[in-house]
Chain A
Amino acid sequence: AQSVTQLDSQVPVFEEAPVELRCNYSSSVSVYLFWYVQYPNQGLQLLLKYLSGSTLVKGINGFEAEFNKSQTSFHLRKPSVHISDTAEYFCAVRSGGYQKVTFGTGTKLQVIP
């Protein structure tokens, strides 16, 4: 079985400050990890994904994430946030050849001017 935990339901941060959104996963086999962003009244958009190789993954809009196998984490970071980053962020996992994707409960990032 696979699962994803996003411990923070809401994260307020001031504009131009750094942010880290936490994601921990559980799986008994190799994993593929994803971060999606959902802007209000829109569908999800892929920010970045880890499939294999380098544990530091760079995505769109200046976001990056680091895969840490020993800590079973895939935290999302951005060194300086903008108002336009206000959205909900979802971490997701797919295991091995298993087609089903499991999403976390989401973290709402609120950027304060």
Chain B
Amino acid sequence: DSGVTQTPKHLITATGQRVTLRCSPRSGDLSVYWYQQSLDQGLQFLIQYYNGEERAKGNILERFSAQQFPDLHSELNLSSLELGDSALYFCASSALGQVTDTQYFGPGTRLTVL
């Protein structure tokens, strides 16, 4: 158990819909990262937050957005969903959000878009 929690575990929805994935970091960690893992694209970094502020952006689509709240939990919002958005979405956290930090991964949310 990494200490990172993600909800829900599974999510099934239809094209065009909007969903919100939630992540709670390990106690004391200030930085949160979001990743997408799919058969087509592999494991891709989406976005990083540190103490409520966006720190780095990866291959995140404009239809996707994220935020980190004052209690440090984070949400990833996916809108206008397409079939290709079906994937496993991981959240990770680290202490200070530095490049040398160890990232601790949550168990993931499996999103299925029908």
Contacts and interface: CB of A to CB of B under 8 A. Distances in A.
B58 interface: yes
Contacts, number: 51
A99 B42 contact: no
Interface residues of B, number: 22
Given A43-B108, A45-B105, A97-B99, 9 more contacts: A43-B2, A44-B90, A99-B48, A100-B56, A101-B103, A103-B42, A103-B43, A103-B45, A104-B42
Given A32-B100, A100-B45, A43 B106 contact: yes
Nearest to B46: A100
B85 to A, nearest CB: 19
Interface of A: 32, 36, 41-46, 49, 51, 90, 94, 96-106
A106 B42 contact: yes
A39 to B, nearest CB: 11
Interface in B60-114: 90, 92, 97, 99-100, 102-108
Given A43-B108, A45-B2, A99 B102 contact: no
A95 to B, nearest CB: 8
Contacts of A36: 105
B55 interface: yes
B44 interface: yes
B107 A90 contact: no
A43 B56 contact: no
B2 A101 contact: no
A40 B30 CA distance: 28
Contact of A99 (B56, B90, B104, B108): B56
